[in-house]
Amino acid sequence: MIVCSKEYDVCSINSLTLRARKLLDQEIEFISNPCFGDAAAESEILDGMASRSPESYLDSSRVSSASGSSTTISRLCRAEVLSADEERSLFRCFNYLKYKANRYRSQLDPEWVTEDQLNQIEQLLHQAQLARDEILNRNMRLVVSIVKKCMTAGVSFDELFSDGCLTLLKAIDKFDYSRGFRFSTYAYHAVSNYAYRKIANRRKERAQYKQLPPERSMEETGAVKNPLMGTETWDELSELLNESIDTLDEREQLIVKSRFALGKHRKTLTFQKLADQLGISKERVRQLEQRAVAKLKVIAEGSRLDLIRELVCD
């Protein structure tokens, strides 16, 4: 029994040490304010937070990946806009909680730490996250209004909305409430500027694509053959692509043809070669391929198109 007790204690200590090191490795960014050091700061700042119900907060991970359906948008825009006083109170609380967590964290010694110390810091960070989520929730109408104005045929509502939510989260982290102006002004510029840049970059990508010669020989790029695709599969996919080509945009058509050797030559291109050819990142090519394949799968559900996933090689 004594041996088991010692082993349990060692495991418990190791667990606390790992938690402490994880906290020390975590970056806690906040906008500081001189009032945070006041003796009465905690009771003054956190009184409003204590009265808020956790159930009212919106999970930011769901928001950032939310669909652009009318039902979802209606739900996201249900929360009322913050008043100037509410906004100031929330941002002050949000940053003070992180300030306090960072101060306690600076006193941690991973080898001599107690569970109460770790719980205290983690609880402060959790409360800060709740405040951040509410700020996000109460500003969703702003993101939706900007996206509706900015969306074009080349950039979908869903894509701009998802990126707009991420931009809003970054704006929340960087906003200094003590400067006296409203967060909506700051967030509007951040989200709209990002949306316009994305649209401009998409237009450049389309222009670069149009400059490429049609049916460019895959052999010119040093591509390799795809030994996994049999003649029957290739013919079926090629026929399917021709039937549903209008559902894909120009870049998606090029990527699918190049990745699955559906063009004039039975050669495949790597993600990197396509990235260099289109002037975009390798990861962006991968995302576009996945989007194109998803579109084709919807059209040809139950066909041999499911083999595509197994045929991708890089």
Same domain assignment for residues 11 and 130 = yes
Name the residue range of residue 103's domain.
Answer: 2-145
Q: State the Cα angle at 48 between 47 and 50, rounded to 5°.
A: 70
**Last residue of a domain, which of 145, 160, 183?**
145
The count of structural domains within the chain is: 2
Tell me if 235 is assigned to some domain: yes
Choose one of 98, 123, 145: the last residue of a domain.
145
Model's pTM, two decimal places? Answer: 0.60
Could you tell me if 293 and 309 are in contact, meaning their C-beta atoms sit under 8 angstroms apart?
yes
In a domain, 197, yes or no: no
Closest CA to 264 of 218, 313, 210, 209: 218
According to the model, what pLDDT value does residue 87 have? Answer: 94
Q: Is residue 15 part of a domain?
A: yes
Residue 227's pLDDT is 45
Q: Say if 188 falls within a structural domain.
A: no
Is 60 inside a domain boundary? yes
User: Do residues 133 and 11 both lie within one domain?
Assistant: yes
Answer yes or no: is 8 within a domain. Answer: yes
For the domain that residue 288 is a member of, what is the CATH number? 1.10.10.10
pLDDT along the chain (314 residues), means of 10: 47 82 90 88 75 44 45 70 92 95 91 91 95 93 89 79 91 93 93 88 72 47 46 61 67 77 64 80 84 72 48 41
CB atoms inside a 10 Å sphere around CB 87: 19
Q: Are 127 and 31 members of one domain?
A: yes
Question: What pLDDT score was predicted for residue 209?
Answer: 60
pLDDT at site 243: 62
Domain shared by 25 and 120, yes or no: yes
Which of 145, 177, 199 corresponds to the end of one domain?
145
